[in-house]
Structure 1
Amino acid sequence: MHIIWSIWFVLHVIFICTFIAQINCDCSDGKGRCEWIPWKSWNSCSTSCGGGRQSRFRDLCCATDWSYDECINKCGLVDHSREYRDCNNLCYNGGSFWSSRCICQDINYGSCCLSVCPTINQCNNRSCSNPYNTMCKECHEDNLLFKRWNGDAECQRMCAWNNHFCWPGTCGSYGLTKDCKCDHGFLKRLIEDDSAINAGETTCQPNTNPDISTCDMKAIGLNGETKSTTSLNLPAACQNLKDVYGNYQPVRMDFVMVSDFIVSYNSTRPSFIREEHFGITDTTVNVKIKTVQDCV
């Protein structure tokens, strides 16, 4: 019976030590009961940058059949078997580590400040915390040529002096080219181009042609010969012009036209337009030369 009892005791001790990992049953390193075994090495950091955590642990010498909690209580100890510390507090692209995380510069985001916020067209300064919430903090020529719009998610072009004046017309209550409405008698010409500050066009052009009230053409020869298309017996209206014939070689053609061009509008001139001028910018004249033979 004595031999059987001794075997049972050994098995019991092995069972206790196997399932209570933080109790060192043999109390090695010269440690006695209720003494902490030296710390193990620190384990690997949880991240390579942006602030991680690492831990280490130690065993408690307690060569008895007590449980770990019983060892702590009966030895009069505070459970201090594991400790933690911060590690790899590295932030890239000018970011700074504060309160266990990286605080990134405006243009970067991510746990290590390695990612770049998506661009916003014509935005000088942007920020984000992920690729889906980029916000513009300042547009190019902010509130002069471009305005932050749509919750600061974009920079909209404003009506301005740089060929985006939208006048005669109005640009809505926010002064944006996208809201440009031309006055009656004018047609909006819109060329959307935000590649540069002064690119594109938002203008209101007259959509009616001027009236040509009178016109004349003279064919002038080398020796001053002159032939006119007007008739002495009819008004000088263009529809009354007649063909002219001459037996000399013209060296110069003179064209004279008088036009009526009346512009009316209702909009108030915006502050960035000091004055306006409307006029005829180009005229097309078609001349047909006919060869006349067998003339007497």
Structure 2
Amino acid sequence: MSFFTSLSGLKAAQTDLNVISNNVANTNSTGFKKSKAQFGDLFAAAPTQTTKTVSGQGVRLNRVTQQFSQGTLQSTDKTLDIAIAGEGFFAVKGQPPHDDLTFTRNGALSVRADRQVVDTVGNSAQLFPVDANGIATSTDPADMFDFVLPEADPSDATALLANINISNEGVVSATFTNGNQVSLGAVALASFSALDGLRPVGDGHWQITGDSGPALFTQAGNGAVGQIRSGSLELANVDITDELVSLIAAQRNFQANAQAIETSNTLTQTIINLQV
């Protein structure tokens, strides 16, 4: 039995090492959220047995949970680099024919040749329509639209785009060479009732699941979604010192279980030799 108990410990330690290694590897990944492995003991006894004479049967992985704590905001001085100071997520839409909606904390946006504003993997940033005061007139996902930079003032084709500004409330304002300023929309943000239920799909993006609940869309500055900081990016929430300490602890755990297997093997071999 001790073989299988220690084997479960080896597998658990290996999983812990994998999770910690992934955290360390993504220290420089913008918007990355670290994970933590959670374990539980295995115990079994018959109804007629007294638990005072029954030992445990090892350990098992309960789940790998994501830690959505706020990462450090780093200034970049680039207008289209945006970060969230709060709990929200940027809503981005994949390119046709998929058009799938995903959520990210990585606000490193760029402009394509067709003037569409996309994230690092080519998904289109989404905006809400706004009124003259910069207040979203609808936060219904059906009313969201792609973030596209205009080439010229809609009311004057000779006036070219001169500047873009994104406020703390996520309102995107375009200034043209004739001095006119037009609000293009507000950056779409979403929150979730159960963040741990989100499904990671890579590149700092998550998808909705039944466990996460539906996305609650809103404009920045409302509730817990937080505000938008233009000219900044959110760094990974990985503390490299903590991860290295955890890495050493996981390594020691692995070595201890390996030693237990070796000890059990030595005892078994001794018993076999006595019988011979």
Q: Could you state the TM-score of these two structures normalised by the residue count of structure 2? A: 0.22
TM-score (norm 1): 0.21
Structure 1 or 2: more helix by fraction? 2
Quick one: higher RCO (CA 8 Å, sep 6+), 1 or 2?
2
Structure label with greater radius of gyration: 1
